[in-house]
Every structure is written in structure tokens, then in C-alpha cells.
Structure 1
Amino acid sequence: MTDTTGDDATRTPTPLDELANSYTRTLFDLDPAFATMMGKPGRETEYRDYSPDGYRAAADAARATLEAARKLRPEDDVDVVTLDALGERLGLELEIHEAGHDVGELNNIASPAQEIRSVLDLMPTDTAENWSHIAGKLATIPAALDGYVASLRDAAGRGQVAAVRQVDTVIEQVGRYLADEGYFATLVAGARTGEGELPDSVASDLQRGADAARAGYAQLRDYLATELRPQAPARDAVGRDRYALHSREFLGSAVDLDETYAWGVAELDRIIAEQEEVAGQIRAGATIPEAIDVLNADPARQLDGTDALRAWMQTTSDEAVAALAGTHFEIPEIMRTLECMIAPTQEGGIYYTPPADDFSRPGRMWWSVPAGETSFTTWKEKTTVYHEGVPGHHLQMGYQTVKKDVLNDWRRSACWVSGHGEGWALYAERLMADLGYLDDPGDRLGMLDAQRMRAARVVFDLGVHLELPVPERWGSGTWTADAGRAFLRKNIAISEGQLDFEFTRYLGWPGQAPAYKIGQRLWEQIRDDVRAREGDAFDPRAFHTRALSLGSVGLDTLRRALLPTP
């Protein structure tokens, strides 16, 4: 096989690449909103078919691609990974479809109830033409929701209905969309181009579209409240068989669920013990909460205003790039620019957006600052800058972008595995601690606080959905949702409103939240196994370059690529 992962590699697309590229185009055709998300112009006013027919069409495309791929012979090592990844991803997609778990999804964060609305957030708003596209998109929402209701009825007819907690939550969400000062009213009221007011014709189209969208969502709310809710079970747990499928979906790896649960319990205990040790370094004899109070009161760890916050993010990021480039990571010059921004939204949290294909738009880290919040502490967020920036998501996404002459379109833009992506970002956080960049006790406690949250999610998610025994430290008997919420309150330092959202998210999206921490574990295991195989020849920098150059793939595919059978 020819090694084509080096920085200077050039490569002629193979028949397998052409097949993967064709499949990516099919995905864009089947789901115009996915094309919008990826910045592809055209069909801006359309939605995918959310009815059972639409899911069958997607499954047929996956099946045809998988059958065609299996007839092709890999021509180089890139093809070997592509074939492996296609087999794992598409094969699992078909398993989920055949089990009926893709049709009629309903939860508080990642179901068509939210997706149909949220794609509007990704559409540009600079010109009157942009707003015409949004008006057209709004007008097609009722048809998209009709298809979704058909899928919910189809799933219910097979006895597959989301828990009543999820149904009630979505009813509340839709009610907020429809309110007089809700999403659609606010969208119309705030509609402007970069030059000012909308033309009258566009404003009228936008209002009609918003009225149609509100009517469509009102019908969805009525269906959920009057027809679906009476069929919804009280039980939140999805059970072992379904959980195993979704765990593989988010990890790209088939893990032993019972062993993983036991590891999660032990990992949480280990992190708490380390937190207690670090708390004592911050103030002798301090408990973890007392150490946090000390850190929050330290003027040296305070930032006043969003300008100071952005400047601190940028300085921290720039220092990480300068320190890591050429030492622990190969960072091509074109990837060394990372812009830190204050987001235009006010929702809280930090996130990353990847660079343009030609890097004309650099990778960016955004902090969405809640309204009225003007004071910030650095101790808890330094590790987050490493997570979102370097060596976290920025290196990950940057490598996928810079490898456009090596990786096909499917591997670069259509294949995303949570356990790989978020597992890498947590791996990056812990690596920075191991390399000495979080030696300050406050910064280290911040990293451990984030790691504790991720470990607690492993215990909660597996424990509640598989109805496993509660560890003695946290109670007795078998996990229930209520016991799980009390457990989360003890281990995740967020507001009650945020906790309610996260609690409902974990119950309605099984397997997703644990993929962060389990993904980190698998990344570390793969690295350690490569080190054991290579012995004194092991080079961490070369390992990171090779691993990131593969793009986002399932973690079993990553292991096979980095540890091929001799």
C-alpha cells in the first residue's frame, strides 16, 4: 500500500473515492438542509422528506453504496480506511433503520422537532435574496412537519413511542416557538439586510412564511398533546438492545456496556479524589466547594467585560499554538491562525466553527455570553480553550480541511462520529494537563471539573437506560431517572435550568453524552497500544499527525487503521 497521509502527499481519486463523493452528493440531494449546514448553495427553500418514505430512501442509498463499495478493491491505504469506515457507518445505519429506530425520533435536542426550525439559524441574512430564501423555507415547514407526523404515527403503530417526559418537553418547546414574542415573531421583527430594511415584497413573503410555519408547528403541538402523548410510556429507560445500537452509533465502536459502566464508576471516583487533592493545594484543608469559592474570589482570575474575555481567549490560544507547533504536534502554517470571537447569540457556552476549504475564513472559537453577564473567571475555562482550539477541535477540523487532496468528500464533510470528535477534544484536555500546561492548581481543578461531568454522564446514561445497580457511594437499589437527577446535581456544577435540560437530553438521546468520555478512553488506549507496539520508536507527534490525518471515523476503524493486523 502507498502511504498518502504525509503533508506533501498528492493523490489521484480512486473509484472508491468517486463512489464516496457520489454518495455525499446523494445525501445533499436527499437532505437540502444538510447541504445548507455544509454551506452548499442551491435548494435553500427545501427540506428533506421526513415521512417514512424519506427514511426508506436514505436507507436505500446507504445500501446501494455499501453494496457497490464491497465490490471495489482498495488501491491504497486511504481506500482501506474509506472502505472500513463506509462498512461500519452505513452498515450500522441500516441496522438502526431495520430496527425502526431512525423513524419517529422525538427528544429535546436532536429530533426533527428541533432540526426543522434550527436550520434557519444557519442561513445567511446579509441580503434581500437571503431573506427570500428564508421566507421560502418557512413556507415549506408545514409540509416537512406533516412528514414528521406521519413518521411518528408509523413508529407508534409499531409500539415505538418516546417517553412521556420527551413528549411533554417538546410540547413546551413548540409552545415557545409559537409565543407572541417567540422564535417566529422575533425572526420577522428583527429581519434586516446588511444595508437596512427589507424590500416590502420580501417582508410580506417573510411574514406569510412565518405565519405558515407557526400554523404547522401548532398542528404538531396538537398532535403531540392529543394523539401521541396518551400512547407515550412513563419509562425513560430504552433497554439494552436499543442502547447498544445507539452506543455504537455515537462511538463507532462496540464496547462492553457492563465493563464500561464499572469503569465509569471507578473513573468518577478517581477524578473526585484528584479534585480533593488539588483543592488542598489551593487552600490547606479546603473541600472542593471551598476551593472553588477561593478561585472565584481571586482577582487575578477575573475578567471584566467581553473585550477582556475575547483577548484572554486569543492570548491563551496563541500561546498554545506557539508552544505545541513542531514539538508535540505538526501544525502546518496555514492552520496556525485561530480567531477567538464573542458570538452574536446569548445562549451560553463555547463552540468551534471550522475553516473554509481554502482557509480564507480561519477556524474560529466562539463564546456565547448570556445577556447581562459581564464578569468571567479563567480557572474553569482554560481547559475549554484547549478543548475547542489547539490541540482540540481546531487541529482535528484543520487536518480534515488541509487534507482535501487526500480525503474524499464523504470522509471530510459527511462522516462525523461523536466519540472520535469529542473524545479527541477530551484527550486534548488531559494531554495538556500531562504536558504541564494546567499545572496551576486552579486551572487543573477546572480541567478536573469538566472531566468529572463527563464521567458522571457515563454512570448516569448507562445506569439509567440499562437499569443497573446504583454504586454504594451514590445510593442503593437500581437506577431510576429521579435517582439519576440527584446524582447529576452532586456531580455537575451548573444551574438548575441547565441541569433540567441536560437531564432530559441524556434520557432522550441514549448513548450520546457518554461518547465524550468513552471516546477519550478509546483514544488513550489506541495511543498506548501503538506505543507498546512501536517501543522506543514511538513518536507522539507522528502518532497525532497520522491519527488526525484520517479524518473523523469510528473508533474501531481508527484502531484498525493505526494498529493494522501484522
Structure 2
Amino acid sequence: MTQSTTSTSTSRATTAIDEVANAYFDGLIERNPDFATTLGLPGRETEYGDHSPAGREAEAAAARETLAALDGLEPVDDVDAVTLDAMRERLGLELEIHETGVVELNNLASAAQSIRSILDLMPQETAEHWEHISGRLANLPQALDGYIESLRDAQSRGQVPARRQVATVIEQTRDYAKDDGYFERLAQDAVVLDGELPAELRVELTKNARVAAEAYDAFADYLEVELLPEAREEDPVGRDYYALMSRRFLGAEIDLEETYAWGVEELERLIAEQREVAEAIKPGATIEEAKELLDADPARQLQGTDALRDWMQEKSDAAIAALKDSHFEIPEPMDRLECMIAPTQEGGVYYTGPSDDFSRPGRMWWSVPAGEDEFTTWAETTTVYHEGVPGHHLQIATQTRLKELLNNWRRHACFTSGHAEGWALYAERLMLDLGHLADPGDHMGMLDMQRMRAARVVFDIGVHLGLEIPEQWRDELLADGGASTWTPEVGFEFLKRHLAISEGQLKFEFTRYLGWPGQAPSYKVGQRLWEEIRDQRRQNEGEAFDLKAFHTQALAVGSVGLDTLRRALLPS
């Protein structure tokens, strides 16, 4: 199977397989109005999806019906073959996960956060927009009630989240609900471009914001009173569930022990490369000394979030201008990316895709932890390329734009973390190869981020599977001569040595890895698989290999699982 498309302008007729995929996508939007908001699709702006057990079962039933509808259908072209491969892999895996009965609760990627965060993507320019926001605030308690019902159902069957995750989400949701918290600020800051909101709407908005805040307070009460006492003490999820999650985030089945050993080797290789760059910054300097010199350089410092946002936008615009037409296809309206400071203070940088018609552009968001007001550009240049161009924005905007080639499920609903995050890390390294990270400071920053991702491979697999700590690290990590297998506590000290981020970010990331098993390694492992596919294509094609053409074809496949991507790009 190979998807031979080499131009993002290619069009094709809708096939029977496309019709099944589009029908599944339409049902997905019907069941999840908040997902429609993510895509910028109008019509049900005040509604939420059903987070209850009935809603979860409806999703599983739709997957079963879709897989049954695909049985017996034959691909009419390469695009069809990829769709069939991807749908069977993605939907089949989600049914396996559904059968475990686990309801996710963690500090970043669960309904506890998404029920609130969808409000960040709703437009705020007109009175009608604020009516939509007010209506969704009014419906927010029902969404949380459904989620509580699912958590209770899972708890009744012995499926409970880890205590650390429950305690963290309690803290998060209390923060949402507090006086001068997210909801109160949202109502207070409500304005429209042509003046103040009508008085009646402002009263309603204030009331519904309070209703939403009270719902999150009640949700935190439930977590504290009912779930926390029953939460499991241990963080690791064990091999069987971890293997499922690894497949979810990679779309590929990997040898976990081999990947763990590779992660150890890759981490040590990156540290050696950092030592070489430190020598270029100052002869004889250690990595730590070189980074101290970079931190102290006034030319590399930013003060305040406004300066951070402006710098992000400048770097992003420059990357688009430099890469457009020369190394990638970046036609209008894909050449617009908006950089934003997130309204939360949870830590992390993330990307949200454009609306289907690109009226809302792709956006890069920086969630700055409370109290952090100083930033260094050398450490963050690579992040701009990761989240923007040629990273996530190029990837997501490309598949959004391909209306005449890909069905709606392929464009909007098929997402695999290892594909997306692996591409973004691939993009970071590519920017070094293309000379955009030639400055030793920016090079050091890129290596810091790559080092972090390699450390996460080791931490995530090692802790969740309880593997042996590499012998060469034991004296450093096990000063008391304790057991030689990974524990969260030992893992935290390990992360402190390898993640060049603030204390607030470190605590957030540590909790995230424990509560979202398999996701963090998908970055570096995804990069590994992307580079393997590219290098195999280069070897197969020899002097005829064209890197830009490869990128164009690869991105046109969309965010499928990495095993599906390999089959699409490498003829058997």
C-alpha cells in the first residue's frame, strides 16, 4: 500500500469508503458538539458531548458499526487503502481500550480539563459569540455530572485513578472555581469589538459563569470526598495497559524493552552532543556553565508575557517566510499562524488547529505558570518551530486544507500523537539541518528539548513497567543503595537532571507522565519512526530522492498511525 499523492492540490471523487468515513465523522460531531467548536463548525455552540457511561457506550457502538460497514469494501485507490488501514487500526484499538473500563483522570488530557478549555477556542468578538459562551457555561454542569457518573461507574468496577492525579485535579478545579478564578475573570473581561455587551446579556453571562464555577467546585468536592479515599496509591499502570496506551499514541506496536534501551543510548548521545556545543559557546565550559552564560546574555532575555508573545510571533512569521516554497508547500491561508498567551497558568506550550474554513487561524498557546515573568530565547526558539512551522501548524493545516483529497475523518478526526509529535521533533532537527538553529545557543536549546524527550522515553517505560535502572546510573540515582528498579521518586530526581525547565513546569510534567502513560515517549519514538521512513525512502530512491516532495506526500497522508504511515510511504 502506498499513497502516491505528491501534490496537495490533487482532487478525487468520493468513494464508498470515504462515505463510511464521512458518516462516522458526522456522527462524531453530532455526539460531540464541543469537537465541532474545535473545528470551527457552527450550529451547536452552546452544547457539550455526553461524558456519561451512556455517552461512552455510544462512541463504542459507533466504532463497531463503522468497522462492520467497512467489511467487504475494496479500496479504489491508494487514498482509500490508507483510510481503510487507518480506520481499522484506530477504531479497533479504541474498542480494546473501551473494554478495559478505564475512565481517564489526569492533570492535562481528561474531561476535567477539556470541559473548561473548549471555552478558550470560542470566538469573543460579537454579542452573539458571548451568548454562545453564556449558553455553554449554563450547560457545563451537566457535562461534569456525566463525567462524575462515568468515574463512579468505573470506581464500582475497581477502576480508579492514582491518588496523585486526583489530588492534582482537585487543586486545578478549585483554582478554576475560586473567586477571581477562570470563570469570574471570563465574565469580567467580556467585551465586544464595537462596545459593551447588552446589560441583560452581561447579567446572564455573570450568572452562568458563577453556575459553571459552582459546578467545578462541586466536582472538586466529589473528587475529594468520594474518589480520593478510594484512589490507588501506586502510579504505574503496568505492562498490559501500558502496551495499549503505547499503541494508542504511536499507532505502532513496538518492543518496549528494546525501545527503553534505545532511549538510554539516545539520551547519552544527546548529552555528548551538548558537550560539543558547550565547547563552541566557551572553550572548556561544561553544559551547565554554557547554559548559565546563555541565561546571562541580555540579548537572549525577554521580560513579561507580552514580550514573549511578540517574540514568538516574530520567529514564527520569519520561519514561514523562509520555508515557504523552498522546502515546504505553505500556500495561503496556511501561511498565517497566531501566537497567544493562554488564559490558564498550568504550564506547557500547545497548538490548536485552524477552523475548517481557516477563518480562525492555527494558534500557538503558551501557558505560563504563575509567578514566571522572565524567559530566555535560546531555550525556546526550537519550541516555536515545534509548535508552528515546520511543526504542528504545517502538519495540521495541511490536512485541514486537503478537502478535495481526504475525507473529513482523515482531515479532522484521525489523530495519532506519535505521528504529530514525532513530526514536530523531526521538524526541530530538520531546522538545525537547514541552518535555522545554527546559533550555538539555539542549538543548545534544541538539544535540551531533545534530551528531555529522550529522558521521557526512559522514565515513562521504566517507571510504568518497573524496569531496571541502567547500571551506569545507579550510583548517581540510588545513593542509599535501594532497589534497582524505577520508582516515581527516583524518576523525579532523574527528570530533574535532564529536563531544563522551571520547577513549576517540572512538577507539572512529572505528574503528566504518570497520569498519561505512553504519551510522553511518543514524541521521541515518533521522531525515530519518521526518520526511519524517510531514510528508507532515500535509500530506495537514491539520487532521485526529493526531500520536499517526500514532505509534501507524507503530510498529505494525514495524522494516521505510524505503522499505517510506513505502509503508505514505503511500497511493499
- Scaled by the length of structure 1, the TM-score of the pair is 0.93
SS of the residue aligned with 2:462?
Answer: helix
Q: Distance in 2 between matches of 1:30 and 1:37?
A: 14
Q: Distance in 2 between matches of 1:378 and 1:54?
A: 45
Shift of the alpha carbon at 1:144? 1.8
Relative to 1, partners in 2 of residues 1:116 and 1:388: Cα closer, same or farther, differing over 3 Å? closer
One-letter amino acid matched to 1:343? I
| Partner residue, 1:343 | 341
Q: Distance in 2 between matches of 1:49 and 1:307?
A: 38
Q: Does 1:331 align with 2:338?
A: no
One-letter amino acid matched to 1:47? Y
| Per-residue deviation, residues 162-207 of structure 1 (Å, max 9, x unmatched) | 0111111112222212212222222222233333333232233223
SS of the residue aligned with 2:557?
Answer: coil
Shift of the alpha carbon at 1:131? 2.2
Q: Distance in 2 between matches of 1:234 and 1:293?
A: 39
Q: Distance in 1 between matches of 2:354 and 2:312?
A: 18
| Per-residue deviation, residues 463-485 of structure 1 (Å, max 9, x unmatched) | 11111111231535111111111
| Partner residue, 2:117 | 118
| Partner residue, 2:481 | none
Please say if residues 39 and 355 of structure 2, whose CA atoms lie closer than 8 Å, have aligned partners that are also in contact.
no
Relative to 1, partners in 2 of residues 1:510 and 1:197: Cα closer, same or farther, differing over 3 Å? same
| Partner residue, 1:527 | 534
| Partner residue, 1:288 | 287
One-letter amino acid matched to 1:264? G
Q: Does 1:553 align with 2:564?
A: no
Relative to 1, partners in 2 of residues 1:437 and 1:11: Cα closer, same or farther, differing over 3 Å? same
Taking only aligned residues, the RMSD between alpha carbons, in angstroms, comes to 2.4
Q: Does 1:400 align with 2:376?
A: no
Gaps of 5+ in 2: 479-483
Q: Distance in 2 between matches of 1:433 and 1:88?
A: 34
| Per-residue deviation, residues 284-307 of structure 1 (Å, max 9, x unmatched) | 111111101111223443456777
| Partner residue, 1:201 | 200
Shift of the alpha carbon at 1:403? 1.8
Please say if residues 334 and 394 of structure 2, whose CA atoms lie closer than 8 Å, have aligned partners that are also in contact.
no
| Per-residue deviation, residues 393-429 of structure 1 (Å, max 9, x unmatched) | 2321232133221011111111111111111010011
Q: Distance in 2 between matches of 1:321 and 1:370?
A: 28
Moved more, 175-184 or 340-349: 340-349
Please say if residues 313 and 340 of structure 1, whose CA atoms lie closer than 8 Å, have aligned partners that are also in contact.
no
- Scaled by the length of structure 2, the TM-score of the pair is 0.92
Please say if residues 3 and 76 of structure 1, whose CA atoms lie closer than 8 Å, have aligned partners that are also in contact.
no
Moved more, 144-153 or 447-456: 144-153
Please say if residues 40 and 356 of structure 2, whose CA atoms lie closer than 8 Å, have aligned partners that are also in contact.
no
| Partner residue, 1:188 | 187
Q: Does 1:224 align with 2:223?
A: yes
SS of the residue aligned with 2:88?
Answer: helix
Q: Which has the higher contact order (CA 8 A, sep 6+)?
A: 2
Poorly superposed stretches of 4+, deviation over 6 Å: 304-308, 369-374
Q: Does 1:99 align with 2:97?
A: no
SS of the residue aligned with 1:381?
Answer: helix
Relative to 1, partners in 2 of residues 1:544 and 1:216: Cα closer, same or farther, differing over 3 Å? same
Shift of the alpha carbon at 1:543? 1.4
| Per-residue deviation, residues 446-472 of structure 1 (Å, max 9, x unmatched) | 110110111111111111111111123
| Per-residue deviation, residues 51-103 of structure 1 (Å, max 9, x unmatched) | 111110000001111111222111111100010110111010111011223xx
| Partner residue, 2:77 | 76
Q: Distance in 2 between matches of 1:504 and 1:283?
A: 36
Q: Does 1:173 align with 2:164?
A: no
Relative to 1, partners in 2 of residues 1:339 and 1:300: Cα closer, same or farther, differing over 3 Å? same
Q: Distance in 1 between matches of 2:305 and 2:169?
A: 33
Shift of the alpha carbon at 1:228? 1.5
Please say if residues 52 and 150 of structure 2, whose CA atoms lie closer than 8 Å, have aligned partners that are also in contact.
yes
| Partner residue, 2:10 | 9
Please say if residues 334 and 398 of structure 2, whose CA atoms lie closer than 8 Å, have aligned partners that are also in contact.
no
Shift of the alpha carbon at 1:276? 1.3
One-letter amino acid matched to 2:246? S
Gaps of 5+ in 1: none
Q: Does 1:539 align with 2:546?
A: yes
Moved more, 414-423 or 190-199: 190-199
| Partner residue, 1:67 | 68
Q: Distance in 1 between matches of 2:288 and 2:445?
A: 12
| Partner residue, 1:24 | 25
Please say if residues 400 and 412 of structure 2, whose CA atoms lie closer than 8 Å, have aligned partners that are also in contact.
no
Q: Distance in 2 between matches of 1:149 and 1:307?
A: 38
Alignment map for 1:428-447 (pairs within 5 Å) = 428-447=427-446
Relative to 1, partners in 2 of residues 1:76 and 1:424: Cα closer, same or farther, differing over 3 Å? same
Shift of the alpha carbon at 1:250? 0.8
Q: Distance in 1 between matches of 2:435 and 2:448?
A: 17
One-letter amino acid matched to 2:447? L
SS of the residue aligned with 2:332?
Answer: helix
Please say if residues 53 and 153 of structure 2, whose CA atoms lie closer than 8 Å, have aligned partners that are also in contact.
yes
| Partner residue, 1:90 | 91
| Partner residue, 2:466 | 467
Please say if residues 391 and 424 of structure 2, whose CA atoms lie closer than 8 Å, have aligned partners that are also in contact.
yes
Aligned residues: 562
Shift of the alpha carbon at 1:384? 2.1
One-letter amino acid matched to 1:331? E
Shift of the alpha carbon at 1:372? 8.0
Shift of the alpha carbon at 1:519? 0.6
Shift of the alpha carbon at 1:140? 1.9
Q: Distance in 1 between matches of 2:567 and 2:137?
A: 45
| Partner residue, 2:416 | 417
Please say if residues 423 and 515 of structure 1, whose CA atoms lie closer than 8 Å, have aligned partners that are also in contact.
yes
Relative to 1, partners in 2 of residues 1:119 and 1:237: Cα closer, same or farther, differing over 3 Å? same
Alignment map for 1:29-40 (pairs within 5 Å) = 29-40=30-41
Q: Does 1:492 align with 2:491?
A: no
Moved more, 191-200 or 311-320: 311-320
Q: Distance in 1 between matches of 2:112 and 2:421?
A: 24
Relative to 1, partners in 2 of residues 1:338 and 1:215: Cα closer, same or farther, differing over 3 Å? closer
Moved more, 355-364 or 271-280: 355-364
Moved more, 219-228 or 477-486: 219-228
One-letter amino acid matched to 1:463? G
Relative to 1, partners in 2 of residues 1:222 and 1:316: Cα closer, same or farther, differing over 3 Å? closer
One-letter amino acid matched to 2:143? A
One-letter amino acid matched to 2:332? I
Moved more, 370-379 or 423-432: 370-379
Q: Distance in 2 between matches of 1:366 and 1:149?
A: 29
| Partner residue, 2:108 | 109
| Partner residue, 2:273 | 274
Please say if residues 342 and 369 of structure 1, whose CA atoms lie closer than 8 Å, have aligned partners that are also in contact.
no
Equivalent residue for 1:517, pick from 515, 521, 524: 524
Q: Distance in 2 between matches of 1:2 and 1:293?
A: 48
| Per-residue deviation, residues 310-362 of structure 1 (Å, max 9, x unmatched) | 665455445544544454x3425426734454536474655444445455665
Moved more, 141-150 or 60-69: 141-150
Moved more, 92-101 or 5-14: 5-14
Moved more, 392-401 or 336-345: 336-345
